[in-house]
Every structure is written in C-alpha cells, then in structure tokens.
Structure 1
Amino acid sequence: MPPKADINKAGWEQSDFPILCETCLGDNPFVRMSKQEYGKTCGTCARPFTVFRWNPGSGMRYKTTVICQTCAKVKNVCQTCLLDLEYGLPTQVRDTALALEAGAPTSDINREYYAQNMESKFDGDKSLLGSSRTTSVGKEMLKQLARTDPYYKRNRPKICSFFVKGECNRGSDCPYRHEMPANNDLANQNIQDRYYGNSDPVARKIMSSHAETKGLKPPEDETVTSLFLSSLSPESTEDSIRATVIRSLPSIDASHIRSIVHVAKTRCAFVNFKDRMSAETAAYAWSNGLEIDSATAAVKWGRSKKAVAPSA
C-alpha cells in the first residue's frame, strides 16, 4: 500500500530537495546528499518527514535537516539551522522587528494538526510571512542586522566530548574540535525556542547589542522600567499610543503595562512597564524608533528615581 493511501501516513511529508540557507549548503558546488523518506520526526510538529544529510565542505561536519518543509515554510527558515532565509537571523529577532506573533501550539497533537492545516494554505513554495504588515523602522532594523554573506564557520565539527574530559587520545586525527566549550547562555539552545522565538539566547544577544549601539543600553538601576517617547505626531493620543505599543509587542499584553503618560504639549510620552523584562523587550523592538500615527518616535530609557547622595 502506498504511504499516502495509509490513513496513518496521510500527513507525513515527502520531498525531493531540502529548503536550506547558503551557509548550511556549504561552499562546495558539488554537494552529494543522502535521502531517507520518513527518516525521523520533525523537531517542531512531530510529523515524519524526508531527511537529507550531506557534507557542506572539506573539514566540516555532516549536516542534516531537523524540521519538515511545511514548518520551514511557515516561518520562512532553513530546515537545518532554523535561521530566517532572507535575513539570516533568528526568528525571534525577525518577529520582534516586524511585530509578528509566534503562534506556537502547546502540545504535539496540536502542532501536527497546525502543520497540516498550514500546508493546505501555501501558494506554491511561498511562505505565509509575506502577508504580514510591516513598518519601515522594523524593515530598517532587519537590514542593519542582516547577515549578507555565508558564515561557514557555523559548519565546523562539534567539540570533542572526550577532549573536554581529558580522555581523547586521537590527537590531530580526531575529527572533532579540541577546545573547551563556552559556559554561557549561548550553550543552552533547543529547537523549539529557536523555531518559535521564545527565550532564544542568540536572538537576545543580537538585539541587546543592536539596542546598545542605538543608545538604548539598559540602565544599571534594575528599578527603571520606563521608556520615554519623543517627537510624537501632533495627532497622537494616549489611546493611539497604547494601541500601537500593544500591537508592536506581540509577546507582551496589556497586563504588562503599568501606565502611559502622554504630554500632548511637548509631543512626548512615558510608557511605564510593570517589570524590567518587558521594558527591555520593548527597548529591543523599538531600537530604531517606534512608528505611531505615521510618525517615527525616538525612544530612550527613563531616568533612575534613586536619590543622589549630596556631596560633602
């Protein structure tokens, strides 16, 4: 019986070639790939899919696809590294800049059902992200952060676990890297967080560095949870500011906002958040400004309320 005729395999995916970024494909123009139909389950929707495996170049490690093509098209990402195909950035960076919702189903069954429904909505090989509304400041942020050239260093062999334990005796013949792993947040990554853009340490590092270059480095005083907006449109009101703030931060709902103070006379406003994490998320998203009522507002951190000790 053909696989598609089996009702239990009707949702399984078959494909002839993977969806890959230039970095994962490698610099070798003559790539030989192995193909295994239904070789493993997708790392996001848990449906069996066609797995591809190849060597991207001399001295590089073998790479394999980890998610199905349907999930790759939904997010417009590479099937192997899960980075955006257009900008070469983590999905959390792209979704934050373009104010896109993650929309992550919670259970394996829901993820599989969601993937099957999304597959029926595709027009050819196009991603569903093309229909999203984008702002000029969001696009400008992505242009500044985009990786335009392949980063083949990402294809290097993994670190030798025996070397880390001091037990590798293969020396220069060892196909793995002989170096100690970095002990930081970047070492703790997983497919789900990278794909759906939830607490991705790589994305947070990129957005934090970009915000710092724009003068939005978080204050050392952790009690500062306010952002100051200036150069607002004369037509702006507290309601329009609130609506724009909530719309531009899909990962933050209205319950995270303590208050919004609009001073129409000076065309400025304070957005006061209830917690520091929400304020930092907003600073990352608005590092290139915030478009409100057809005007781009400048963004700065609020000042610390700590009293300065008088000089002797």
Structure 2
Amino acid sequence: MNKADPNKQGWEQSEFPILCETCLGESPYMRMTKQDHGRECKICTRPFTIFRWCPGKNMRFKKTEICQSCAKLKNTCQTCMLDLEFGLPVQVRDSILQVKEAAPQSDVNREYFMQNAEKQLENGASYHDYSKADSAARETLKRMARREPYYKRNRAHLCSFFVKGECTRGETCPYRHEMPEENNELSKQNIKDRYYGNNDPVAKKYLARLGDRAQLKSPDDPTVTTLFLTGITEEVTKEDLEQKFYIYGELKSVVLSHAKRCAFINFVTRAAAEQAIQQTFGRLTIHDAIVRVAWARPRKQGPQSELKAGAFGSTAEGAQMPLPPGALNEKVTYASQDPTLLGSASTSGQHK
C-alpha cells in the first residue's frame, strides 16, 4: 500500500495485481514478472508496480495499466478496467446505479483527492458499496453481468503484415491472421474514458442493448393479458409468483410448470399486464434465480386453429404452450387447477 505524507507524493508497491478472472487467464500455472515503480499510472500519473504475464496459449501478453489505488476507488481490474463484481464497464454500472463521478481530473486536485482516498482505504472505507443501491438496479446489473470468464478477449492482436499480404511466418506467427472489421468502434478505446465512464464504445453497446429491452413492444392484439415466464426453478412456488405480480393488478390465474421451467401469469386487464412487464422485464429475480419475462404468444386465428388445439394447451388469452417432441403420436391429456387457463385436450393416433 502507498504510504505518503501530505507534502510528498508516494510510490505504490504491491506483491500481486488486482485482476479479473478473464485477464488472469485459465491456466493455473503462469510466469508473472514484476517491476517496482516500472511506469506511471495512466489515471493518477504516479509510479506503481508493473506486472506482466501471458494468460494462456495463443494469447497476447498483458500488463497492469493503472495503480491499485485507482482500481480500488472504482472496484475495477487493473488491466481491463471492468467492474470486478459484475464484469461490466464502469459507464454501464454507474449509469444503472445513478452514480456520479467524484474524483477530480485536474492535476493538483486529483493528487489531493488520491491522498485522502488512500487514507480512507487504509482504514477500511469502501467507495463501491452496492448494498445501498436500488434493488431494481442491482437486479438489472445481475442480469447483465458476465458469469463466466471471457478468455476470447485475451486473443493475440491482428497481424499487420497479414493485412498487407506480406506475412511469411505462416503458422509460427504469434499474431492473428484475420482481416480487421471496417468502422469498428471497439478498436478505438481510451483508457481514461473507460475508467471515468465517458464515451466508452463497449458501454454504448451494453446500454443500447438495455434500451432495446426497455422498449419491449406489446402485442397488437389488445386481448392478450398473459405474461410468459422462463427460468423457473424448483424452489419457486405459485404463492411466490402471486406475491411478485399481484401488486400490478388483479390476477385471473397463475399456472406453474416445474417440468418445463416456465409459468403463465394471466391478468384481468391489459393495463395491469403492461405495467407488470415494464417493471419486471430484465430485472426479475426469485430465490436468487433470474426469471425472464415476456408476452405470451397469441393464438393464431384461422381454419387451422382448431386442428392445432389438440397439440397445444391454450391459455386464457390465447397463449400457447407447446408439447414436448414426440407427443403428437401419443395420447395426451392436459389438466390444470384452473380450467380457464389450461383446457383439457387429447389426441390419439397419427396426427395428420
């Protein structure tokens, strides 16, 4: 840890870097070099300990880019500057949590801020306490979080000689023989912008994807008032679903199928269903399990609807639950506690 008096700029010394699983690599055995005061931090411009390593075979060498004090202030990896808990860009995390940047960016104010921040860090203070954040925002981050390491991010850089058609090393070339994508914004990333959460192209892709989810289009059929839930675990009960959705409006029925890991929530009014999906889409968690919410599919109108009724259990508002493969050749009977949601239908013999 950096030890500095109020009138002297300190130099950081550390024994191991602060890294995410992706940057560290999947190999349990690696050689990591260490150089004390090897370079200045690209955020606070103070000398710090540089670590350099290769995360795996056919991967490029990686090194730490910022000091540990700057990494602790943002709870980020020293190399990729992604959040350590959710694996998301800082701009995405702070936008969802509605956190504003507190660190000054001018030289004199930044040094004074870093000295005071390091003293607080030594005393056990934390600048990234998510427990006080809104529960809906935390559920959104949990849904967007990357749960597994993404080692593809450690691949070697593109071979510039291959792009020019002049590489003669063939398979022994340590760089990738691929053509670069045209107008690729991800190739123009700035470390300071990524750290402070300003104009980060990776964050823009995440936020654009989140915006598309927020603008979930409602079905054109105004009679559809049923929501379709997937990702239901064995711990989820019908009472859990009723408790989650009754606050948005009167429920007509709730059907739960643990075998298919899904459920149908049928509201009395369309307004209640729209409010429920706006509040739960992309942010619903039941018993620590992420549940996906979508509109149920309306039943197609036409002469074939009655013929297909024998192969589908139709919901109250026309939503359909398909049978498992091979069920058309067997005698099947649907039964539900609520006959208005799942009707009884049976088929026998070959379906033609």
**Which aligned pairs between 1:128-207 and structure 2 lie closer than 5 A?**
128-130=127-129, 133-182=132-181, 183-207=183-207
TM-aligned CA deviation for residue 216 of structure 1: 6.0
Number of residues of Structure 1 aligned to a counterpart in Structure 2:
222
CA separation in 2, counterparts of 1:65 and 1:122?
20
2:104 matched residue in structure 1: 105
TM-aligned CA deviation for residue 108 of structure 1: 3.5
Deviations 1:134-173 (A, max 9, x none): 1111101101100010000011111112222333222221
TM-aligned CA deviation for residue 12 of structure 1: 1.2
| Higher relative contact order, chain-length normalized (CA < 8 Å, sep 6+) | 1
CA separation in 2, counterparts of 1:71 and 1:139?
23
Deviations 1:11-34 (A, max 9, x none): 111111100001111111122210
**Is the radius of gyration larger for structure 1 or structure 2?**
2
TM-aligned CA deviation for residue 109 of structure 1: 3.8
CA separation in 2, counterparts of 1:33 and 1:196?
28
CA separation in 1, counterparts of 2:193 and 2:11?
23
Deviations 1:75-125 (A, max 9, x none): 000001110000000000110111111234233343333222211111567
**Which aligned pairs between 1:34-45 and structure 2 lie closer than 5 A?**
34-45=33-44
Question: Is 1:20 matched up with 2:24?
Answer: no
**In the alignment, is the contact (CA less than 8 A) between 2:87 and 2:145 conserved in 1?**
yes
**In the alignment, is the contact (CA less than 8 A) between 2:25 and 2:151 conserved in 1?**
yes
1:211 matched residue in structure 2: 211
1:295 matched residue in structure 2: none
TM-score of the pair, normalised by structure 1: 0.64
Kindly, what percent of the aligned residue pairs are identical?
A: 58
SS of equivalent residue, structure 1 residue 86? coil
Superposition misfits of 4+ residues, deviation over 3 angstroms: 3-10, 123-127, 286-289
CA separation in 1, counterparts of 2:96 and 2:39?
33
CA separation in 2, counterparts of 1:151 and 1:25?
11
**Which aligned pairs between 1:219-258 and structure 2 lie closer than 5 A?**
none
1:48 matched residue in structure 2: 47
SS of equivalent residue, structure 2 residue 34? strand
Q: Which runs of 5+ in 1 are unaligned?
A: 218-232, 234-265, 267-285, 290-312
SS of equivalent residue, structure 2 residue 128? helix
Structure 1 pair 131–60 and aligned structure 2 pair: CA distance change class (3 A): closer
Root-mean-square deviation (CA, aligned residues, Å) is 2.9
Structure 1 pair 111–167 and aligned structure 2 pair: CA distance change class (3 A): farther
TM-aligned CA deviation for residue 126 of structure 1: 6.4
